[in-house]
Every structure is written in structure tokens, then in C-alpha cells.
Amino acid sequence: MRISIPPSWRTRVYRYRLVATKCKKCGVTLYPPSNICRHCGSREVDQVELANEKARLITWTVIYSTMEGFEKQRPLIIGIVETTESKARILAPLTDVLPGELKPGMIMEPVIRRIREEGEAGLVHYGVAFRPELTTSALNTS
């Protein structure tokens, strides 16, 4: 499927930033963002950034048979993470990790990664993914 530049441009905020909404009435953080709280039905919501929040890995699945355009990403790991502060649950690709290294509860951090390309001269699509948190000890081993 080929995506034109205008729709890609309109959705850029949600592709390149981890944006959610927080209900003013009940305090629930909603991801993906919504104009109406799915918890209490209130229309009083504020946009919030989740990019600086760490997350805990809840569960994941490994996809070995991917659709056209995602062959380079095999195996594709998709996970559900819960942000540590706002408690928003996010379904996203997991990156920079092998399936056997994943453990429930491990701390993850959001990053921007290339999702796919449309041929050599086409659009390059990026999006938010999560990777295991880089610790200072991991940085000093190289």
C-alpha cells in the first residue's frame, strides 16, 4: 500500500512523538489519545507527553511471518508496556532486543525507529518503539 505525503504529514505528531491525553475528571491517561475519556466519558482532556516516561513490559508476542514491506524486521516483536508514572498502556514494536532476552516487568524506554520504506525513492516511515532501558553499566561495557 502506498501512502501519500498529505496523510503522512497530518499524522506526524502521533508517529514521531509519544502523545496521550489525560482526563481532567478522573485522572486516567489515555493512549492512543482521545477527545473523550474511555473510562468516565468526560470530554475534558489535556494532551500530555509520555516520551520521558520509562515503561514496564507487560507482555509480548513474536511474529515470524510478516506482511510485505516488513521482511527486514523479522522476527517482529510487538509488546504491551505500561508507563511507570501515568500508567498508560501502549501497544508498540519492541526493538534492540532478542525475543529470548525479554522478561515481564523489565524497564523499557521509548525510541524513534524506521518502520518501513516505500521503494528507493519513496517515503520513509518512522514511529515509536520501545527498547530495554540502557543503563550506565551497559554503556561502559564497550
- Name the domain count of the chain: 2
Question: How much is the pLDDT for 9?
Answer: 55
**Any domain includes 7:** no
Domain co-membership, 69 together with 41: no
**Any domain includes 2:** no
Lowest mean pLDDT among 38-47, 61-70, 116-125, 126-135: 116-125
CB 126 within 8 A of CB 68: no
DSSP state of 134: P
Question: How much is the pLDDT for 87?
Answer: 94
**Any domain includes 139:** no
CA distances from 31 to 15, 41, 62, 100 (A): 13, 15, 22, 28
Look up the pTM and report it: 0.79
Lowest mean pLDDT among 60-64, 93-97, 137-141: 137-141
Separation of CA 9 from chain center: 18
**Any domain includes 5:** no
Residue 37 CB coordination number (10 Å):
21
Please provide the average confidence, as pLDDT, over all residues in the chain: 84
- Tell me the pairing of strands 45-49 and 89-94: unpaired
Residue 78: domain span: 53-134
Residue 122 belongs to domain with CATH number = 2.40.50
Domain co-membership, 59 together with 45: no
Predicted confidence (pLDDT) per residue in 6-20, tens digit: 665 555 555 667 899
Nearest to 17, CA basis, from 41, 1, 28, 33: 33
